Amino acid sequence: MRKKVICILLLFMLGTASADMPLGFYMAMNNADQKEVLCVKNYDTGATMTEAYTDIEHLERNTEVVTRSGGFESSGGGALEASINSNVIGKAHIAWQSVDPNPDSKGRHPIIGRSIEDLTGVFSIEKFIQLWADSQPGEISIDWLPCN
């Protein structure tokens, strides 16, 4: 009889101990490893873009990415274009980078430009990224930077 009472007492103590955990603990456990990541790189033009969402409570995402290599007459040598439309509750990281595809004398690829946005909370994203090789200022784009 004494062993049964001890076992019941231990089970009761374990059951009440889990009820005393803070609410943040359960929220963190429910959001564990919820992430969406998209990385695209065009090696010919030196263009890279990243779209990442973490700690997601709600995500409606519509992303279209087009990448072309050199040799296309219409693009002048290659391109990376991304259209991002998202409604998010959580964290977002949107970034692009353009490097010279030809290494310098030390073997490095110099960065021509980059943009990084880190967002937290409840928000909507509508963004169009256009990175073209041999492009010129004034061409239609929202985020513009020549790739080479």
Question: Where are the domains positioned within the chain?
Answer: 34-144
Q: Which residues of 117-127 are buried (b: 16+ CB within 10 A; e: fewer)?
A: eeeeeeeebeb
Q: Give the pTM.
A: 0.66
Rounded Cα gap, residues 65 and 147, in angstroms: 17
Predicted confidence pLDDT, tens digits, the chain (148 residues)? 544 444 444 444 444 445 566 666 656 666 556 889 999 998 888 889 999 999 998 999 999 999 888 654 444 568 889 999 999 999 999 999 988 888 888 988 888 888 999 999 999 999 998 887 766 555 544 544 444 4
Q: What DSSP element (H or E) covers 145?
A: none
